[in-house]
A and B are shown apart, each in its own frame.
Chain A
Amino acid sequence: MDYFNLMTICAFLHLLVSIPHAYSNYVETKAGQFFSSGHTNNWAVLVCTSRFWFNYRHVANTLSVYRSVKRLGIPDSHIVLMLADDMACNYRNPKPATVFSHKNMELNVYGDDVEVDYRGYEVTVENFLRVLTGRLPPSTPRSKRLLSDDRSNILIYLTGHGGNGFLKFQDSEEISNMELADAFEQMWQKRRYNELLFIIDTCQGASMYERFYSPNLMALASSQVGEDSLSHQPDLAIGVHLMDKYTFYLLEFLEEVHPASQANMNDLFKVCPQSQCVSTPGHRTDLFQRDPGSVLITDFFGSVRKVEITKDTINLTSPVEPSVHKSGSGDIQIESLTYVDQLPVSEIIHQKPKQKDWHPPDGFILGLWTLILLVFFKTYGIKHLKHIF
């Protein structure tokens, strides 16, 4: 009996001693984990490619991912948000300045501080590829650029209408999976990303990531080739479907993620199984170097900064030279400010017409000449025509 008590007491004491040691080890490993992913900043490119009122759900999809990404810490300066149409201020919106994602108008994902970088007709395949590859004209402002470096993790989210091997932009053009794969390869060549997570919520979405060949890419899609992605719930007051199924369940999953959570990619792959989504979500991880189980959700959706304590300082001894203030009411020289002409009228009036390149004649001219030739043959000798035809 005594021996037993002694044993338990010894074990208890041992446990007490080892707990703080284990805790410090845990803190150390957590600190070490900070550098295992190899990234120092996060970017997000969120694109909605469809216009028209009945595609309300695509804008709501994109805005709800935008909300989650902002909540988890990525600042607006690191998010490129492209919305192809304005649903919040659409004429047919019964509740202007709102975009709802849950029926009965439960959650307004538009809010007061949405920063849309590319809007309306600016969302084109060309602009999207320019943002990804960085080939923007020099006058593009900072908020419209993807200024990532070789230690950036980028999240790319596309939604809209798609098909086998393409995604439709604005009902007038398409981006093919080959173009997307080439764009990612160019990003890799220039080391514009450390790791990239590609999520697409369209019909036959898995076809868009089939052709990727650059390293460090992980892709998720809402449906396989041959399947359609379905929308979730309509709201009877607004009159359209509010969200797509896959993004709805993705949003529910992300609502439980907070900046310090340890949820990993394997949990993300389980979002929206076929029983809920009707389509089968797919994912691709063969190009990714780390094991998906060790990749945190916040590696892509959040922006957990790595910090180090500043240990050394520099001893500065010489006193600060105060900047000389020109005080004195006598003659205060204020630098006269000049502003650039907003509308350089004189330049516009006097500019010479631009040199246009010569183009060969188009269809109308060809048709006209054909008509002239036929008329010539008819009047001057159908017999000439007989030898040819």
Chain B
Amino acid sequence: MAALQLEKQRGRYAALAIAAVVIVVGIPLWWKTTETYRAWLPFSDISELDTLQLQLSVDIEVVFSRGTLTPEQQKKVPLSHVSEKEHKIDAKTGLRYKYETRYRTATVMEEDALNQQTAAEADLSLHMLSESSCGSVVVYVIPESSTLLPEDVKVYVGQRRTALLRSPPFKSSWSLKEVLSSLDVKVEQVVSTMSFNHEDIVAALSDRVRMTKVTKESMADSMRAIKSSPGYEITFSLLNPDPKSHSLHWDIEGAVKSYIQPLLNKLAPIANFSVDSQILYYAVLGVNPRFDNSVSAYTLNADSLSHVINPVEARLGSNAASSNPVLNFLLYVPDAHHSPLFIRDHSKREVPSNAFHSPRWGGIMVYNVNEMYGPEAEHPVDIHINMAKVMGVFLAQLRLMLGVQHTHPPPGFVLQSPGSAGLADWELDRLLWSRSVENIATASTTITSLAQLLDQIGNIVINDNIAQQVSSAVTSLQSAVAELEAGNLAFALQYSREAILASERAFFDPSLLHLLYFPDDQKFAIYIPLFLPMCVPIVLSLLKIVSEAKKRRADKQAKND
């Protein structure tokens, strides 16, 4: 009897011990080993980034040359002035523009520079004197009667960041404040031409804010320029459909080095560029040109141009190693039987450049060579292509593709052509403003949507490298916004580039694929066969112990009574 009791006791202890081990050791062990590894992410910082309040600061310097101000007015200069404008785009995005204007009189050397014959020379010598920082604008106010600018020209915008403004008429009895207020309107016009303007910035924010009503022009502009990307590939192709008649030579390497490379060097802060070229033989256009008797030439009208690109694109190769967007520039030399070939626009007029482009894809130029040889020439004829003319067109198309927008300055403005540099400094500044805003907007939406995704789906593993990329993206974004506020455009662009690279790398990491969509019944189906056979004896034995203890207590009660 006693031995039986001892046995029962031991059995009870065994059951209790097993239950204790299962609950104390087993369940935490199972929980720990089946949880997914999720590194810590700065969710609070990311939710702060969701509302974007951008401030863009421009440094404007207005320099009065001799003869514009009376000595009375000149006494109060130097002077500085800050004006701010706020725009609320939507509930989560706000913009503030800060214009810091400093007024001063010209130094002796600047006066000498302004005494040049033409505005272009004046601009060049002014540039020699001082280098203005990225993003700033310098306006030189010259006397109303000055002969530096032609009669009807009020503003001359140079190749760098300076502009020459013919002073509007004002009386010498006016105080300085009145003079400045009458000048402000003109200066504002100059600044909105040379620096960012509201429409460009709002278009750059299109990733965050889907504009519902846009003008056709702004939509065309936003569709034409290629999206911001860390690198671009530019491919120049020469299409020769008739090698039997024409033997074409083009010095593409030299042309790229002379004309395209300076532009790409200037754009180096924005992206990496790689340039390559190819020659395609027996490549034909997909449409048949029609012979026009009035000009005795073949013509391609604008409607059929859209069908030209597709058959050609199948023949163009692309660099398989990179995933960067490609910009193609094709030079088509028509075959001898279809020369000369001209392009007509929608109103059937001749197009002087004989070229067309497709948004976000590239451009095609038709180069006629029939005038270079007579009918008695021996085929194939050696033809050297005039690369300056060709590159002039390609450079213009490249600028459009990369987002250097057409500026429509107010009347009376003259914009100096950028020439061989390819890009004026102030055009570069405009591009930098819109690119940094675009990068910041894209990076912030990427990071916030990534955080949302990771929050929603509890099963995704967050590795350390993703957490690190996200943290670095967040810090770069914060630095970029701070630099924009301070007005350092170059640093802002650099930080925004780092932010977008890190955020894209984090978002597109291959390990973030959520393939684990487990409905609850599947989870049960997995765990029940494993745990039920183990838990049933434990639970039953515990129940047995409890019922036996109750019975003993009832017996004891009965015995006591």
Q: Is there contact, CB below 8 Å, between B363 and A310?
A: yes
Q: Is there contact, CB below 8 Å, between B345 and A309?
A: yes
Q: Of A27, A190, A310, which contacts B449 at CB under 8 A?
A: A190
Closest-CB distance, B489 to chain A (whole angstroms):
25
Q: Which residues of the partner chain A approach B535 to less than 8 Å between Cβ atoms?
A: none
- From DSSP, what is the main secondary structure of chain A's interface residues? loop
Q: Of B7, B351, B363, B515, which contacts A125 at CB under 8 A?
A: B515
User: Who on chain A is nearest to B395 by CB?
Assistant: A314
Q: Which residues of the partner chain A approach B30 to less than 8 Å between Cβ atoms?
A: 360
Q: Is there contact, CB below 8 Å, between B358 and A306?
A: yes
Q: Which residues of the partner chain B approach A75 to less than 8 Å between Cβ atoms?
A: 310, 313-314
Q: Which residues of the partner chain B approach A95 to less than 8 Å between Cβ atoms?
A: none
Q: Is there contact, CB below 8 Å, between B393 and A313?
A: yes
Q: How long is the Cα–Cα vector from A227 to B207 in the complex, in angstroms?
A: 41
Closest-CB distance, A135 to chain B (whole angstroms):
5
Interface: A122 (CB within 8 A):
no
Q: Is there contact, CB below 8 Å, between A307 and B541?
A: no
Q: Of B258, B306, B517, B540, which contacts A179 at CB under 8 A?
A: B517
Q: Which residues of the partner chain A approach B12 to less than 8 Å between Cβ atoms?
A: 387
Q: How long is the Cα–Cα vector from A132 to B158 in the complex, in angstroms?
A: 47
Interface: B11 (CB within 8 A):
yes
Q: Which residues of the partner chain A approach B346 to less than 8 Å between Cβ atoms?
A: 27-28, 31
Q: Is there contact, CB below 8 Å, between A316 and B310?
A: no
User: Who on chain A is nearest to B13 by CB?
Assistant: A387
Closest-CB distance, B92 to chain A (whole angstroms):
15
Q: Is there contact, CB below 8 Å, between B15 and A313?
A: no
Q: How long is the Cα–Cα vector from A350 to B11 in the complex, in angstroms?
A: 56
Q: Given the known A-B contacts A142-B320, A388-B537, are A305 and B358 also in contact in the complex, defined by CB atoms under 8 Å? A: yes
Interface string of A12-31 (1 = CB under 8 A from B): 00000000000010011011
Q: Which residues of the partner chain A approach B5 to less than 8 Å between Cβ atoms?
A: none
Interface: A347 (CB within 8 A):
no
User: Who on chain A is nearest to B512 by CB?
Assistant: A135
Q: How long is the Cα–Cα vector from A309 to B300 in the complex, in angstroms?
A: 12
Interface: B360 (CB within 8 A):
yes
Interfacial residues of chain A within 63-80, with CB under 8 A of chain B in the complex: 73-77
Q: Of B251, B360, B388, which contacts A317 at CB under 8 A?
A: B388
Q: Is there contact, CB below 8 Å, between B422 and A388?
A: no
Interface string of B1-30 (1 = CB under 8 A from A): 000000110111011001000000000001
Q: Is there contact, CB below 8 Å, between A308 and B323?
A: no
Closest-CB distance, B521 to chain A (whole angstroms):
13
Interface: B355 (CB within 8 A):
yes
Closest-CB distance, B511 to chain A (whole angstroms):
8
Q: Given the known A-B contacts A73-B310, A303-B310, are A129 and B515 also in contact in the complex, defined by CB atoms under 8 Å? A: yes
Interface: A147 (CB within 8 A):
yes
Interface: A352 (CB within 8 A):
no
Q: Which residues of the partner chain A approach B388 to less than 8 Å between Cβ atoms?
A: 316-317, 319-320
Closest-CB distance, A237 to chain B (whole angstroms):
33
Q: Is there contact, CB below 8 Å, between B359 and A313?
A: no
Interface: B409 (CB within 8 A):
no
Q: Given the known A-B contacts A176-B517, A316-B391, A387-B12, are A310 and B510 also in contact in the complex, defined by CB atoms under 8 Å? A: no
Closest-CB distance, B398 to chain A (whole angstroms):
10
What range describes how many residues of A lie at the interface?
Answer: 35 or more
Q: How long is the Cα–Cα vector from A73 to B313 in the complex, in angstroms?
A: 10
Interface: B213 (CB within 8 A):
no
Q: Which residues of the partner chain A approach B538 to less than 8 Å between Cβ atoms?
A: 388
Q: Is there contact, CB below 8 Å, between A191 and B207?
A: yes
Interface string of B484-525 (1 = CB under 8 A from A): 000000000000000000000001111011110100000000
Q: Given the known A-B contacts A142-B322, A179-B517, are A320 and B302 also in contact in the complex, defined by CB atoms under 8 Å? A: no
Closest-CB distance, A37 to chain B (whole angstroms):
10
Closest-CB distance, A186 to chain B (whole angstroms):
7
Interface string of A303-334 (1 = CB under 8 A from B): 11111111111111111111100000000000
Q: Given the known A-B contacts A38-B219, A151-B223, A388-B14, are A318 and B420 also in contact in the complex, defined by CB atoms under 8 Å? A: yes
Q: Is there contact, CB below 8 Å, between B11 and A77?
A: no
Q: Is there contact, CB below 8 Å, between A310 and B357?
A: yes
Q: How long is the Cα–Cα vector from A88 to B359 in the complex, in angstroms?
A: 39
Q: Is there contact, CB below 8 Å, between B310 and A305?
A: yes
Q: Is there contact, CB below 8 Å, between B307 and A141?
A: no
Closest-CB distance, A189 to chain B (whole angstroms):
4
Q: Is there contact, CB below 8 Å, between B392 and A315?
A: yes
Q: Of B10, B323, B389, B393, which contacts A310 at CB under 8 A?
A: B393
Q: How long is the Cα–Cα vector from A151 to B392 in the complex, in angstroms?
A: 28
Q: Is there contact, CB below 8 Å, between A384 and B14?
A: yes
Q: Is there contact, CB below 8 Å, between B391 and A186?
A: no
Q: Is there contact, CB below 8 Å, between A307 and B392?
A: no
Closest-CB distance, B387 to chain A (whole angstroms):
5
Q: Which residues of the partner chain B approach A38 to less than 8 Å between Cβ atoms?
A: 219, 223
User: Who on chain A is nearest to B7 by CB?
Assistant: A383
Interfacial residues of chain B within 412-436, with CB under 8 A of chain A in the complex: 417-420, 422
Q: Is there contact, CB below 8 Å, between B541 and A142?
A: no
Interface: B253 (CB within 8 A):
yes
Closest-CB distance, B456 to chain A (whole angstroms):
9
Interfacial residues of chain A within 334-389, with CB under 8 A of chain B in the complex: 360, 363, 366, 383-384, 386-389
Q: Of B33, B393, B541, which contacts A387 at CB under 8 A?
A: B541
Q: Which residues of the partner chain B approach A24 to less than 8 Å between Cβ atoms?
A: 347
Interface: A210 (CB within 8 A):
no
Q: Which residues of the partner chain A approach B33 to less than 8 Å between Cβ atoms?
A: 360
Interface: A245 (CB within 8 A):
no
Q: Which residues of the partner chain A approach B360 to less than 8 Å between Cβ atoms?
A: 40-41, 149, 151
Q: Which of B223, B347, B355, B392 has the most CB of A within 10 A?
A: B223
Q: Is there contact, CB below 8 Å, between A316 and B220?
A: no
Q: Is there contact, CB below 8 Å, between A189 and B257?
A: no
Q: Is there contact, CB below 8 Å, between B396 and A313?
A: yes
Interface: B318 (CB within 8 A):
yes
Q: Is there contact, CB below 8 Å, between B417 and A315?
A: yes
Q: Which residues of the partner chain B approach A34 to less than 8 Å between Cβ atoms?
A: 306
Q: Which residues of the partner chain B approach A366 to less than 8 Å between Cβ atoms?
A: 530
Q: Is there contact, CB below 8 Å, between B397 and A77?
A: no
Interface: B446 (CB within 8 A):
yes
Q: Which residues of the partner chain B approach A259 to less than 8 Å between Cβ atoms?
A: 307, 310
Apart from A76-B314, A260-B307, A306-B358: 6 A-B pairs, beta carbons within 8 A: A27-B303, A134-B508, A186-B453, A318-B258, A320-B254, A387-B15
| Complex A-B: 8 CB contacts under 8 Å | A35-B220, A73-B310, A135-B513, A186-B449, A313-B393, A313-B396, A383-B11, A388-B537
Q: Which residues of A contact B (CB under 8 A)?
A: 24, 27-28, 30-32, 34-35, 38, 40-41, 73-77, 125-126, 129-130, 133-137, 141-143, 145, 147, 149-151, 176, 178-179, 182, 186, 189-191, 259-260, 303-323, 360, 363, 366, 383-384, 386-389
Q: List 5 A-B pairs, minimum CB-CB distance, nearest first.
A: A387-B11, A73-B310, A189-B449, A323-B253, A310-B355
